[in-house]
Amino acid sequence: MVGRVVKGALLGFAVMLLAALPPIIHFVTGPHLLGSFLGGFVGGAKARATRDVALGIGALMGLLVLLPGALLVLLLSTVFNLIAADDRGFYEILVVGVSLWVATLGALGAWVGGHFSLRASRKPPSVLSRAL
């Protein structure tokens, strides 16, 4: 199960980042508004995610956003002094909010993608494939 969660989360995170890069896709999906759902969907479908695996995928996707974001805020406020001490709390809340957003939509997308993937694998074979 852990392998499926990690595999699905890394794939979902990569798709989420790729959806934010190209300008045309970025304007359609918004800055991670739908990208994290799409990434979770692809990761969940590939990992054939059940509900528990989908929650793990979403949580790991959220952590993959939270850890670098928190490190960036820490570095910018302490080492480089680019964020004032009064403003640091705002950026910390922003990082936590974005990571919760990614985790929620990533888990929801993984659950939906896993559902479709599992449903397609249980589908009875077509008449043509039975004849062959």
Check residue 60 and give its pLDDT: 96
More confident of the two residues 43 and 119: 43
Global pTM value: 0.83
Whether pLDDT at 29 is above 80: no
Record the tokens describing residue 75, joined without a space: 């570095």
Residue extents of the structural domains in the chain: 2-127
Query: What is the distance in angstroms between the CA of the first residue and the CA of the last residue of the chain?
Result: 34
pLDDT digits (tens, 9 = 90+) for 84-107: 889 999 999 999 999 999 999 999
